[in-house]
Amino acid sequence: MRLGAWVGICAALVNACSPGPLTSASEVGSISRHAPDALVTSEAGGSLVITFQLDDLPSADVQIEVTTTDPTEALTQPSTLIFATNNYSTPQEITVIGQDDPTDDGDADYALQFRVVSDDTRYAAVTIEDMSLSNVDDDTAGVTLTPSDGLRTHELGASDTFAVVLDTPPTRDVTVELDSSDKAEGTVAPNSVAFRAAYWATLPDPEMLTRLPLKLSSLALSISSTK
């Protein structure tokens, strides 16, 4: 992955910082931030690393705090960096880790927000602009039939069954309609299956339903011969 340029961050110029430190230690503190060009995490555990370092010797410890606007999409480790006079120029890393959910809800945007805390007034005045990121979804809505083939009926009336399972918890009610391609040979009953989104919301583990065929998230359907 190609890495972006170092970006100097200062209190006087928040949104138009040029690469590298912008000011001397006598004016205002300066912090450099290094991040990938692609600011993307993923629900599959994809992460990225952001690196910070102080450009001037501080007169007191400098603390950089980071929060995410949506912790359901991403978390940071650690959430705080502390620079002292003996390590101010040593780069420190924050890892941003994408968080998973069982729902096919598409890619989600979120932001990282930063706060600088220090008794050094030069660094206490530093403002670090937010970073906009995206968490890539890894879920795909769908319906699974189990078994999907090999079902057998008999003209004397013998029937077979299969289960209908949603691949991901629904955000709205879902109805799956079923029909036979040749009613002279066999019929299906019932001819539809309804899954209620509100039921998923009451479970401690919504994804659990997708793993319980013939119980909670599925219904055994009968295919009977018409001859």
192-207: burial string, b at 16+ Cβ within 10 Å, e else: ebebeeeebeeeeebb
Q: What DSSP designation does 137 have?
A: -
Question: What mean pLDDT is reported for the chain?
Answer: 76
Q: Is residue 189's pLDDT more than 90?
A: no
Domain regions of the chain by residue span: 7-136, 143-225
pTM, to two decimals: 0.61
Q: Per the CATH hierarchy, to which homologous superfamily does domain 7-136 belong?
A: Immunoglobulins (2.60.40.10)
pLDDT at 196: 78
In which band, very low, low, confident or very high, does the pLDDT at 184 lie, cut at 50, 70 and 90? confident
Distances (CA, A) of 36 to 33, 62, 131, 204, 218: 10, 24, 11, 36, 44
In which band, very low, low, confident or very high, does the pLDDT at 109 lie, cut at 50, 70 and 90? very high
Whole-angstrom distance, CA of residue 84 vs CA of residue 52 = 13
Among the listed ranges 84-88, 110-114, 202-206, which one has the minimum average pLDDT value? Answer: 202-206
State what percent of residues in the chain have pLDDT above 70.
74
E-assigned strand segments in the chain: 7-9, 31-34, 40-42, 47-54, 62-68, 74-77, 80-83, 92-98, 108-118, 131-136, 143-146, 159-166, 174-177, 186-189, 192-195, 220-225
